[in-house]
Amino acid sequence: MKTRFFLMAAAALLFASCSEAETENGTQDDGSAVTGVQQYSGSMVVTYEGEEYATNDIVVEVTFSEDGSSMDIKMLKVKFVPQMPVTLDVLIPGVGIDGSSPDSGTVTFSGDDIIPYMANGAYDRFIVNDLTGKLENGNISFSLYFGDYPTSYSGTVLE
């Protein structure tokens, strides 16, 4: 009897924790973004010493703040140029959301003077500047400077 009660209580908690309109990946059925985590897969282009280096299949994770005023962008397993001996996860924290809401389905964002985190901590050698971007209809695109290096990314939401 206790086991049955426990299972029923656990099931009730499970159903109460998600709204009907929300899916597992943090989007609503109409495709608009909500607070939470979104993952995208796409292409990154870095300009280094006058040459462009393109990398495909880069996963970017976007995490919205609870109040919807900012977001963190995490680029997973990035190798900026072929000469890099290892891949890194790069976190760009506290990117400002510009007058749009994650619930609206379109989010524009920007940032300057953001210290990224790589490997074991802050990496102020490659301060992020001129970051501008947009999330819309399941797509993300942004451009920025990592220090002196122009970088752009374009991707599609992973489902």
- 153: Cα separation from own chain's centroid: 11
**Average pLDDT score, the chain:** 80
Q: Which residue has the tokens 């790069």?
A: 90
CB 94 within 8 A of CB 100: no
Q: What is the pLDDT of residue 103?
A: 67
**150 vs 68, more confident:** 150
Q: Which percentage of the chain shows pLDDT scores above 70?
A: 75
Does position 17 have pLDDT exceeding 80, yes or no? no
Region 16-28 average pLDDT: 36
Does position 26 have pLDDT exceeding 70, yes or no? no
Does position 53 have pLDDT exceeding 90, yes or no? yes
Region 32-48 average pLDDT: 83
Domains and their CATH numbers in the chain: 23-157 (2.40.160)
User: How far are the Cα atoms of 42, 53, 83, 100, 112 from residue 126, in angstroms, in the given order?
Assistant: 22, 17, 17, 28, 12
Residue of 83, 64, 53, 31 whose CA lies nearest to 150: 53
Beta carbons within 10 angstroms of residue 96's beta carbon: 15
Q: What is the pLDDT of residue 119?
A: 81
The first and second tokens of residue 107, run together, are 């989010």
Q: Which residue has the tokens 């009660």?
A: 5
Does position 146 have pLDDT exceeding 80, yes or no? yes
DSSP E strands in the chain: the ranges are 37-48, 51-64, 70-78, 88-97, 106-111, 117-118, 121-122, 128-136, 139-146, 149-157
Per-residue pLDDT of 76-131, as tens digits, reads 999 888 888 899 999 999 999 987 766 667 899 999 999 999 887 998 889 999 99
Q: Binning pLDDT at 50, 70 and 90, where does residue 59 land?
A: very high
Does position 61 have pLDDT exceeding 50, yes or no? yes
**105 vs 150, more confident:** 150
Most confident among 2-11, 29-38, 89-98 (mean pLDDT): 89-98
Residue of 131, 138, 150, 147 whose CA lies nearest to 40: 138
Burial degree of 111 (CB within 10 A; 0-12, 13-18, 19+): buried
The first and second tokens of residue 138, run together, are 């399941």
d(C-alpha 57, C-alpha 52), whole Å: 17
